[in-house]
Amino acid sequence: MLEVPDTFQILADPTRRRLVEALRSGERSVGELVDAVEIGQPGVSRQLAILQDAQFVVVRPEGRRRLYTLRPEPFRELDDWMSTYRRVWERRLDRLEAEIDRRGARRPSKSKRRVGGAASGNSDKAKEHEHAKR
C-alpha cells in the first residue's frame, strides 16, 4: 500500500494535480500535456517523472512519443484510506440531520401561519390578548 503522507505530498503540487486532471480523460503525449497545463516541456517532463516514480502514471513509448496514463491503484488506495474517515463523518452528519429534523418537527411550519403573521400556535394567545383589550 502507498504511504498516504507521500500520496498527499505528491498531489499537493498544483502542476501535478493539473497533469492528473488532464490524464483523467485517457492516455496523452507529453506535447498534449504541455498544452493542457500551459507550462514548458521540461517542467511537464520533470513533474511526470515524479508522478511515474510515485506510481501514479505509467509511460508507454510509441515511436518517438511517450504516452502517459494514470494508474488506478494509488487512487483506490487513497480512497480506501479516506473511506474510514468518510464513514466517521457520514455518521456524524446523519446524527446532525436527525437532530435538525427532530427540532424542525417541533416548530410550526410556514404553511400553518396565518395571513396576519401570527403562527397558528400563537393564535389563541392573540385572541386572548384581543379579548382582554375589550
pLDDT-derived band of residue 107, with 50, 70 and 90 as boundaries?
low
Identify the pLDDT of residue 120.
45
Return the C-alpha cell found at 22. 488532464
Alpha carbon distance 46, 50 (integer Å): 7
Give me 26's grid cell: 485517457
- Please tell me the pTM assigned to this model: 0.63
Residue 18, pLDDT > 60, answer: yes
For the chain, which domains are there? 4-71 (1.10.10.10)
DSSP code at position 54:
T
Q: Which amino acid is at 20?
A: V
pLDDT in the model for residue 117: 45
Q: pLDDT tens digit string along 36-71?
A: 998 999 999 999 999 999 999 999 999 999 999 999
- DSSP annotation string for 63-117: TTEEEEEE-SHHHHHHHHHHHHHHHHHHHHHHHHHHHHHHHHHHSPPGGG--TTS
Provide the pLDDT for residue 127.
47
